[in-house]
Amino acid sequence: MIKILKYGEVANEDIFSRVVPEFDVTAIVSDIIENVRQNGDKALFEYCEKFDKAKLDSLEVTKAELDEAMNLVEPEFVEVLKKAAANIKKFHEKQVRHGFIINDENGIVTGQKVIPIDRAGLYVPGGTAAYPSTVLMNAIPAKIAGCRQVVIVTPPSKDGKINPAILAAANIAGVDKIFKVGGAQAVAALAYGTESVPQVDKIVGPGNAFVAEAKRQVFGRVSIDMIAGPSEILVVADGKSNPKFVAADLLSQAEHDKLASAVLVTDSEELAQAVANELEVQIPQLERAEIARASIDNNGKIIVADDLKTVIEIANEIAPEHLELCVDNPFDYLDGIRHAGSIFMGRYCPEALGDYLSGANHTLPTSGTAKFSSPLSVDDFVKKTQYTYYTGEALSRVAKDIDRFARKEGLTAHAKSATVRFED
């Protein structure tokens, strides 16, 4: 049964506590990465056989396999994928940045270029939980940014095949290459390259603890989007909210995995109890009831505060991955939310809208990192380079200023590089 906590009557550490994984995979992941670095494809084939129980002849998905997948996926779902892709494209095209140039002083030009990274690597979970939505959410922004090559890695099933829905989504998103490899070994392959898998410049996408740790360890060799923790939802709801809706929304994240956290913050004790009761009704009806039960019992909580102002303050302190505003006139509260990965507004905007169809990205900061980081976007697939141009006459006007500044920092060679040009 979910815990009900009264804000101000229990310790703040109970209110704001977060899930902390109990196992450390650092050493295991380090060994996997080193093996892939040293042995390339050979290590990948061995790990596929060991972890995925798949004996492969080739790591790369062929054109024939892509075509077969498009035929295997029901046409109605292909249309849903295309609709979602169109919405994601529409949303992310608004994020495109452009360079600038400043040329308002004689003889001086400064500016900035916005350049796509050459090669993006996308990790897509597979196995028991295959997420074609993740393909669209990661690949489409990379394509809009202008990456020269977009590469997917995803674990195969025992028969050596990739879930057809993942391949269909990759086809629709315009992915360039797909490889049948998952886990920490897939991250290592993207970071260092193998005979088959190209080395990339940035790795994005969610995964289990081994994938997250691998991304942490290869950061610096390549860029990464974020270290994602367990899935989170926080629902802000007033006393007018329908407890069936709220319970269903909490469970939409609780079913992800046993470490997921689902939190309701409300100003109504009546709603708190009604939602707790409704969770007990809905959990047994779920296909993933065992996972949802563990998540709700171990990590779920309902926090009751005196008023909505305090509710919003609590939400900001938690800084959740997903935040629902189940209130009348939700736009009245939007400016008050400072820390959340993605906000869902009103009583008819479940978090699942963002997972699949609205167009906003579903790769989001977790574990309170929404206080300082952002959802995945086109910005994740570009870098910025600045440039400066001065004529000789323009430099002569500031050479003494450079000289003074450099000498103040004890860097006489810096100073000389500016003044030497005018000694004659």
Q: Provide φ and ψ at 326, rounded to 5°.
A: -90, 75
List, in sequence order, every residue forming a beta bridge with 265; answer none if it has no partner.
236, 303
Q: Is 293 left (phi over 0), alpha (psi -120 to 50) or beta?
A: alpha
Measured between alpha carbons, how far is 359 from 64 in angstroms, rounded to an integer?
30
Count CB neighbours of 351 within 10 A. 22
- C-beta pairs of 62-67 under 8 Å, 24+ apart in sequence: 65/161, 65/162, 65/167, 66/167, 66/170, 66/171, 66/178
Q: Is 315 left (phi over 0), alpha (psi -120 to 50) or beta?
A: alpha
List, in sequence order, every residue forming a beta bridge with 115; answer none if it has no partner.
383
List, in sequence order, every residue forming a beta bridge with 383; answer none if it has no partner.
115
Count CB neighbours of 239 within 10 A. 14
The number of residues in the chain equals 424
Which tokens is 141 given?
A: 């922004």
Catalytic center residues: 321-322
**CB-neighbour burial class of residue 51 (10 A; exposed 0-12, middle 13-18, buried 19+):** middle
Residue indicated by tokens 């956290």: 261
Q: Which amino acid is at 151?
A: V
Beta-carbon contacts of residue 358 (< 8 Å; ≥ 6 apart): 87, 91
Which tokens is 166 given?
A: 């993942």
Measured between alpha carbons, how far is 33 from 40 in angstroms, rounded to an integer?
10
